[in-house]
């Protein structure tokens, strides 16, 4: 094969190969979300942040909780924290979900849709939600279904009491 024929062949192959399209640019919301996730992972115990970052654990309950907490921090101003006691719950219990808020600081604590056994261990047996933690690992505040409303009422009253700026 001559140099000329080799160059001609390479040119035909290059003509067939289409240049890769650049990835789409991230939206402002996606950038804020990625920054919040990175900040949260940086604040977490390294055992748990390494778990989330490993390829085989990408779809784990803990990884999902990190995303949920980051999203709600952006949307609702909840604390961007995932302390070790809560992270351990997300690893141990695939049904744990970060939704019940601490009435003091708003931390999203893990809860589950309660089985009969878990309902019997809660203070409100009529409630189908059962928290894994009874006190907030950040501030020691109360965690439970009524605290969601208390926290939201506290936030609303703080906003309405704030002096008007303008």
- For residue 149, the model assigns a pLDDT of 47
Work out the average pLDDT over 14-39: 89
What is the 3-state secondary structure of the chain?
CCHHHHHHHHHHHHHHCCCCCCCCCCCHHHHHHHHHHHHHHHHCCHHHHHHHHCHHHCCCHHHHHHHHHHHHHHHHCCCCCCCHHHHHHHHHCCCCEEEEEECCCCCEEEEEECCHHHHHCCCCCCCCEEECCCECCCCCCEECHHHHHHHHHHHHHHHHHCCCCC
Work out the average pLDDT over 139-143: 91
Share of the chain above pLDDT 70, in %: 76
Is the pTM above the cut of 0.85?
A: no
Q: What is the mean pLDDT of the chain?
A: 82
């Amino acid at each position: 094969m001559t140099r000329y024929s080799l160059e001609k062949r390479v040119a035909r192959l290059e003509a067939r190969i289409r240049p890769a399209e650049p990835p789409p640019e991230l939206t402002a919301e996606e950038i804020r979300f990625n920054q919040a996730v990175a900040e949260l992972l940086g604040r977490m115990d390294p055992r748990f942040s390494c778990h989330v970052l490993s390829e085989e654990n990408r779809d784990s309950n803990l990884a999902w909780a990190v995303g949920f907490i980051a999203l709600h921090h952006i949307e609702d101003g909840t604390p961007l924290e995932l302390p070790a006691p809560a992270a351990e719950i997300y690893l141990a219990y695939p049904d744990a979900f970060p939704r019940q808020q601490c009435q003091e600081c708003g931390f999203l604590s893990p809860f589950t849709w309660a089985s009969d056994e878990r309902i019997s261990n809660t203070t409100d047996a009529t409630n189908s939600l059962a928290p894994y933690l009874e006190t907030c690992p950040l501030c020691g505040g109360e965690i439970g279904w009524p605290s969601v409303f208390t926290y939201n009422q506290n936030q609303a009253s703080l906003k309405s009491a704030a002096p008007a700026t303008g």
